[in-house]
């Protein structure tokens, strides 16, 4: 047998690059889908990625062609017919072939590829028929049947069917409508370009019968959804044209390195379709971006409100207002009584807002009802974002939006403390002015009181009375005491009223600042993750679209 040089095969670089891009897209999609979608399609996609990688690592010099089919359909006989000698055992006693035999055309024994496939029976064809060089690189696999009682045959056949580049289904007039065959075909409906159907033993039929069988088989193929798989008729023992056609087809496919790519592309497309199904993305929207969905304004405001309530915004704003009032009173109140306020702790300091990142403040923790409302608002935000998307997305978006632990409430606590620190008011100037006035009035009261005391003591000791000046018949010391006291008290009342308004304003300012801080936390811990999940979905759909293209 002469050995001729293999012909260079035409440009496949683009196809290989395309395929690599698709495999990479599938890998990235599987990573995104991991933990989000069902395990099964994710594992399948990962298996396809690793299979494609392995297959491509072995190069496309060889084409793995599996002869698959029911026992007795003539796989071994066809193998012998293609090889041109009795290399495979054929027989009436079935099943005949119990382990795969690889017939390798060409000098290269395809060792690593067959090791990967787990096929140890090998037959090397290095010459012979005039056109054998055209078949260089062909690795013909005569595979055990899929329908015998021997499970190991079926398993071996399935392993080859999974890994071979071209699947040649050999059937005969008796078995071409078999359920087992068609269930395989249905599963491989996307692999039409990587499959060939061979109706063998046509020597047992008239031409019309053979045509009728072929038509029938074509209908069955269509019913199984297989597109693009050629149907050949052969007679392995009759030496009819069919074997020549089959040999010709194998030659063409062997020379076209895209055959390897086509199989892998179909695998990648199936894995991508499975993931798209698991992601509940309609088959028509493979390449489409995710639907733009968003959280409505009313939902975000309710979210901010309910999170604010859970963060104790009311308690804190009330404390800000009370703190303002207290500070105002201690500066502008009646000096004789204002010190009593110092005895009670400052309303803001009681909340320990200064703790910041060092630990929780003393703002009371959210009540069960407030928590429930906050979580319901988060859920509403998630549902609003996923509105119209099918499961599993609403659930995934809800999970992304809902913090698993206390982190949200801790962050809210910190945000409230920071916000209040920012709005702590400077002491208004009028406090100081009123404070000075109050001191002056207090001094007047003291002077008046001391004066009156001096007069009383002088009377007591029968001392000569000094003249006491009067203004409008009111003795000056009495006027100083009563005037100073009543003015001081009135001033204290007046400044108290003004302080109440100031306190209210301070509280409102603090509430606004807290609202902003809470909205920022909501953005970061709730709305951000929601958007991220939507983006991940869009990316997943995009990647799967690329993988399936």
Q: Which residues bind ligand GTP (CB under 6 A)?
A: 69, 71-77, 90-92, 94-97, 144-145, 200-201, 203-204, 235-238
As beta bridge partners, residue 69 has 170
The distance of closest approach from Cβ of residue 233 to ligand GTP in the complex, given in angstroms and rounded to an integer, is 10
Task: Give the nearer residue to ligand GTP in terms of CB position, either 97 or 290.
Answer: 97
The distance of closest approach from Cβ of residue 143 to ligand GTP in the complex, given in angstroms and rounded to an integer, is 8
The distance of closest approach from Cβ of residue 24 to Mg ion in the complex, given in angstroms and rounded to an integer, is 39
Q: Are 153 and 166 in contact (CB under 8 A)?
A: no
Q: Quick one: which segment of 29-37, 49-57, 93-101, 165-173 binds Mg ion (CB under 5 A)?
A: 93-101
The distance of closest approach from Cβ of residue 129 to ligand GTP in the complex, given in angstroms and rounded to an integer, is 19
Q: Please select the residue that binds Mg ion; options are 60, 73, 97, 255, rule is CB under 5 A.
A: 97
Return the percent helix, strand and coil in the chain, to nearest 5: 65, 5, 30
Residues 6+ apart with CB under 8 A from 53: 23
56, containing H or E segment: helix 39-57
Task: Give the nearer residue to ligand GTP in terms of CB position, either 77 or 300.
Answer: 77
The distance of closest approach from Cβ of residue 169 to ligand GTP in the complex, given in angstroms and rounded to an integer, is 11
124, containing H or E segment: strand 121-125
The option from Mg ion, ligand GTP, none interacting with 373 (CB < 5 to 8 A, set by class) reads none
Q: Are 200 and 236 in contact (CB under 8 A)?
A: yes
Strands 474-475 and 470-471: antiparallel
Q: Quick one: which segment of 67-75, 211-219, 299-307, 471-479 binds Mg ion (CB under 5 A)?
A: 67-75
Q: Is 156 exposed, middle or buried (0-12, 13-18, 19+ CB in 10 A)?
A: buried
Closest to 104 measured CA to CA, from 90, 115, 89: 115
Q: Quick one: which segment of 89-97, 111-119, 266-274, 475-483 binds Mg ion (CB under 5 A)?
A: 89-97
The distance of closest approach from Cβ of residue 70 to ligand GTP in the complex, given in angstroms and rounded to an integer, is 7
Task: Give the nearer residue to ligand GTP in terms of CB position, either 56 or 237.
Answer: 237
The residue at minimum Cβ distance from ligand GTP is 74
d(CA 403, CA 395): 14
The option from Mg ion, ligand GTP, none interacting with 308 (CB < 5 to 8 A, set by class) reads none
Task: Give the nearer residue to Mg ion in terms of CB position, either 144 or 488.
Answer: 144
Question: Does 214 engage in binding with Mg ion (CB under 5 A)?
Answer: no
DSSP state of 176: T
The option from Mg ion, ligand GTP, none interacting with 517 (CB < 5 to 8 A, set by class) reads none
Cβ neighbour number for residue 190 with a 10 Å cutoff: 19
The distance of closest approach from Cβ of residue 545 to ligand GTP in the complex, given in angstroms and rounded to an integer, is 41
Task: Give the nearer residue to ligand GTP in terms of CB position, either 101 or 525.
Answer: 101
Q: Quick one: which segment of 53-61, 97-105, 117-125, 242-250 binds Mg ion (CB under 5 A)?
A: 97-105
Q: Quick one: which segment of 94-102, 115-123, 146-154, 266-274 binds Mg ion (CB under 5 A)?
A: 94-102
The option from Mg ion, ligand GTP, none interacting with 177 (CB < 5 to 8 A, set by class) reads none
d(CA 415, CA 485): 45
Question: Does 96 engage in binding with Mg ion (CB under 5 A)?
Answer: yes
Task: Give the nearer residue to ligand GTP in terms of CB position, either 93 or 429.
Answer: 93
Query: Edge-to-edge, what's the strand order for the sheet holding 121-125?
Result: 121-125, 101-105, 138-142, 63-69, 166-171, 195-199, 231-233
Question: Does 76 engage in binding with Mg ion (CB under 5 A)?
Answer: yes
User: Cα 503–505–507 angle (5° rounding)?
Assistant: 70
Task: Give the nearer residue to Mg ion in terms of CB position, either 75 or 537.
Answer: 75
The distance of closest approach from Cβ of residue 170 to ligand GTP in the complex, given in angstroms and rounded to an integer, is 6
The distance of closest approach from Cβ of residue 83 to ligand GTP in the complex, given in angstroms and rounded to an integer, is 13
Task: Give the nearer residue to Mg ion in terms of CB position, either 144 or 333.
Answer: 144
d(CA 185, CA 31): 29
The distance of closest approach from Cβ of residue 122 to Mg ion in the complex, given in angstroms and rounded to an integer, is 16
Q: Is the peptide bond before 47 cis (omega within 30 degrees of 0)?
A: no
Q: Quick one: which segment of 10-18, 70-78, 267-275, 277-285 binds Mg ion (CB under 5 A)?
A: 70-78
Task: Give the nearer residue to ligand GTP in terms of CB position, either 238 or 479.
Answer: 238
Q: C-alpha 38: how far from its chain's center?
A: 13
The distance of closest approach from Cβ of residue 40 to ligand GTP in the complex, given in angstroms and rounded to an integer, is 31
Helices (H), 190-240: 207-223
Q: Is 303 exposed, middle or buried (0-12, 13-18, 19+ CB in 10 A)?
A: buried
**What residue has token string 């203004």?**
471
For the chain, how many helices (H) and strands (E)? 18, 9
195, containing H or E segment: strand 195-199
The option from Mg ion, ligand GTP, none interacting with 470 (CB < 5 to 8 A, set by class) reads none
Helices (H), 256-354: 258-278, 297-310, 313-332, 335-338
The distance of closest approach from Cβ of residue 536 to ligand GTP in the complex, given in angstroms and rounded to an integer, is 48
Q: Is the peptide bond before 95 cis (omega within 30 degrees of 0)?
A: yes
Task: Give the nearer residue to ligand GTP in terms of CB position, either 74 or 507.
Answer: 74
Helices (H), 461-522: 476-522
Task: Give the nearer residue to ligand GTP in terms of CB position, either 144 or 333.
Answer: 144
The option from ligand GTP, Mg ion, none interacting with 165 (CB < 5 to 8 A, set by class) reads none
Q: Are 282 and 187 in contact (CB under 8 A)?
A: no
The residues of the shown chain that bind Mg ion, judged by CB under 5 A, are 75-76, 96-97
């Amino acid at each position: 047998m002469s050995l001729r040089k293999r012909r260079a095969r035409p440009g496949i670089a683009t196809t290989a690059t395309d395929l690599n891009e698709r495999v990479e897209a599938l890998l990235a999609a599987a990573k995104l889908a991991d933990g989000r979608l069902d395990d099964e399609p994710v594992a399948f996609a990962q298996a396809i990625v690793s299979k494609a990688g392995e297959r491509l690592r072995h190069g496309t010099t060889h084409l793995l062609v599996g002869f698959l089919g029911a026992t007795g359909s003539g796989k071994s006989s066809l193998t012998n017919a293609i090889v041109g000698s009795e290399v495979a055992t054929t027989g009436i006693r079935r099943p005949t072939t119990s382990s795969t035999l690889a017939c390798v055309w060409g000098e290269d024994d395809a060792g690593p590829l067959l090791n990967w496939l787990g096929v140890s029976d090998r037959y090397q064809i290095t010459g012979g028929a005039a056109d054998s060089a055209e078949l260089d690189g062909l690795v013909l696999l005569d595979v055990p049947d899929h329908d015998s009682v021997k499970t190991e045959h079926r398993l071996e056949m399935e392993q080859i069917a999974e890994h071979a580049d071209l699947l040649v289904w050999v059937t005969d007039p008796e078995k071409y409508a078999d359920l087992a065959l068609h269930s395989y075909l249905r599963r491989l409906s996307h692999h039409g370009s990587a499959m060939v159907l061979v109706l063998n033993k046509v020597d047992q039929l008239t031409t019309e019968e053979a045509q009728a069988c072929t038509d029938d088989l074509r209908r069955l193929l269509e019913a199984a959804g297989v597109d693009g798989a050629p149907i050949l008729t052969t007679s392995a023992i009759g030496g009819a044209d069919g074997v020549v056609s089959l040999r010709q087809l194998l030659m063409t496919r062997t020379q076209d390195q895209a055959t390897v790519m086509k199989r892998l592309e179909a695998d990648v497309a199936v894995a991508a379709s499975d993931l798209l199904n698991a992601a509940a993305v309609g088959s028509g929207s493979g390449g489409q971006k995710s639907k733009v969905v968003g959280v409505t304004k009313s939902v975000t405001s309710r979210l901010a409100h309910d999170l604010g309530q859970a963060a104790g915004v009311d308690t804190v704003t009330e404390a800000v207002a009370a703190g303002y009032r207290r500070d105002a009173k201690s500066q502008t109140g009646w000096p004789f009584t204002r010190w009593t306020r110092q005895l009670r702790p400052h309303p803001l300091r009681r909340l320990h807002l200064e703790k910041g990142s060092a630990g929780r403040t003393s703002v009371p923790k959210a009540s069960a009802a407030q928590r429930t409302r906050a979580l319901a608002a988060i859920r509403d935000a998630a549902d609003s974002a996923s509105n119209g998307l099918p499961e599993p997305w609403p659930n995934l978006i809800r999970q992304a939006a809902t913090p698993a632990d206390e982190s949200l409430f801790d962050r809210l606590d910190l945000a409230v403390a920071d916000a209040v620190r920012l709005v702590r008011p400077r002491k208004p100037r009028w406090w100081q002015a009123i404070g000075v006035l109050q001191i002056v009035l207090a001094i007047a009261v003291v002077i008046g009181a001391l004066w009156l005391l001096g007069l009383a003591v002088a009377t007591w000791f029968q001392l000569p009375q000094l003249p006491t000046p009067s203004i409008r018949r009111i003795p000056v010391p009495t006027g100083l005491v009563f005037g100073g006291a009543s003015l001081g008290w009135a001033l204290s009342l007046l400044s108290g009223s003004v302080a109440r308004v100031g306190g209210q304003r301070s509280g409102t300012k603090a509430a606004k600042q807290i609202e902003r801080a809470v909205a920022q936390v909501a953005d970061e811990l709730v709305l951000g993750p929601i958007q991220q999940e939507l983006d991940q979905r869009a990316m997943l759909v995009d990647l799967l679209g690329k993988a399936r293209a």
